[in-house]
Amino acid sequence: MTALNDGWFTEVFQDQGTAFSLQVKKKLHEEQTPFQKLEIYETETFGNLMVLDGCVMLTTRDNFLYHEMMTHPALFTHRDPKKVVIVGGGDCGTLKEVLKHPGIKEAWQVEIDERVTRVSEEYFPELCEANSDPRANFFFGDGIQWMRDIEPNSVDLIIIDSTDPVGPAEGLFALDFYRDAMLALREGGIIVQQSESPLLHTHSIIKGIHEDMRQAGFEHVQTLPFPQPVYPTGWWSCTMASKENPIKYFREEDANNRPFVTRYYNAGVHRGALAMPQFMVDALEDEVRPTEG
């Protein structure tokens, strides 16, 4: 539920008894796409705000936290990533971070709603700087079907940059989708799934992601928490899984010597994010294996 009262945009999380508000200057854009209601606001302190079906998606001020953590930990964990597929990510921020890595030869953004990308090009141009990169490829359509049809053993990294697991995104949090992703990945391949709030969703969503990824054949699964002020509780996470290699190890020297600028991610943040809070360890204890510690 959302409301716009006295110059404040408020997203109400009725089932949690909480709400999040941003003071807005004006509404910049509103449309009903074939898939969802899309709104853009200019806020007082967080830059532009994107809202989909009443839910906060991103702001100019803090999106780098999410986009950097959805990409760089996995890219520096994989031994030599060349081809990346992003499912969702219509704002193009994840694509931009992926293509900062000079070793990437090909990146695909598979987004169901083209209007999200086109509106982002207008109101979040800084996130779309890599859209013209010759390595960038776009497919606007059903990501679930696209993953089902992709050539087996053809991808190094799959990033599921989706909205909450309801509506069009629900199928991206499913065992069948993880099985299709497993087939698409090459040896040493990694999948990354945005996995909601550790405080709210460890039992209801994150544990299920761990179980489904393992059932799909991913031997090593790890959730990395990180801050995200505009999302519920201000605390978010991504979950990485690997076919063969433990993901608690990564190319730390390469991360330290990365040839590009980041605002949040570095090798220390990477290592710190692998240390889950105790309540998550307890909830996921069946999934934590000594070989990964």
Q: What are 193's strand-pairing partners? A: 160, 239
- The catalytically annotated residue of 161, 180, 212, 254 is 161
Distance CA 269, CA 246 (A): 18
| Cα–Cα dist 120/176, whole Å | 30
Both tokens assigned to 107: 């990146």
**Whole-number Å distance between alpha carbons of 136 and 102:** 13
Q: Which DSSP string do the residues of 69-109 spell out, in sequence order?
A: HHHHHHHHHSSS--EEEEEE-TTSHHHHHHTTSTT--EEEE
Q: Residue 161 catalytic?
A: yes
* Residue 261 CA from chain centroid, whole number: 19
Active-site residues: which are they? 161
